[in-house]
Amino acid sequence: VSETRVVSEFGNDSVAKVYVAQFPDGRMVEFVESLQPPRPREEKWVVIVSSLFGCPVKCAMCDAGGDYRGQLSAEQILAQTDYVVRSRYPDGIVPAKRFKVQFARMGEPALNPAVLEALSKLKTRYTAPGLVACLSTVAPAASGKFFEGLLDVKENYYRGRFQLQFSVHSTDAKERDAIIPVAKWGLGQISRFGDTWFRPGDMKITLNFAAAKGSKIDPAVLASHFDTRRFLVKLTPLNPTKAVARRGMETMLDPDAPAESDQLVQALRDEGFEVIVSIGDQEENRIGSNCGMYLGDGAVKSS
Ligand code: SF4
Ligand 1 atom closest to Cα of residue 136: 2
Q: Whose CA is nearest to atom 4 of ligand 1?
A: 59
Q: What does the pLDDT read at residue 37? A: 85
With a 6 Å cutoff on the Cβ, whether 164 touches ligand 1 is no
Distances (CA, A) of 276 to 8, 39, 265: 33, 19, 9
β-pairing, 5-11 vs 16-22, is: antiparallel
Length of the chain: 303
pLDDT in tens, 213-263: 888 999 999 999 999 999 999 998 887 778 888 888 888 877 777 777 889
194: helix, strand or coil: helix
d(CA 121, CA 117): 6
Q: Is the CB of 60 under 6 A from ligand 1?
A: no
Q: What is the position in ligand 1's atom list of the atom closest to the CA of 65?
A: 5
pTM of full prediction above 0.85: yes
Q: Is the CB of 140 under 6 A from ligand 1?
A: no
Band (293; pLDDT cuts 50, 70, 90): very low
The distance from CA 34 to its chain's CA centroid, rounded to whole angstroms, is: 13
Residue 284 near ligand 1, beta carbon < 6 Å: no
pLDDT-derived band at 212, boundaries 50, 70, 90: confident
Among the listed residues 58, 59, 76, the one whose alpha carbon sits nearest the alpha carbon of residue 67: 58
Q: Is 302 in the pocket of ligand 1 (CB under 6 A)?
A: yes
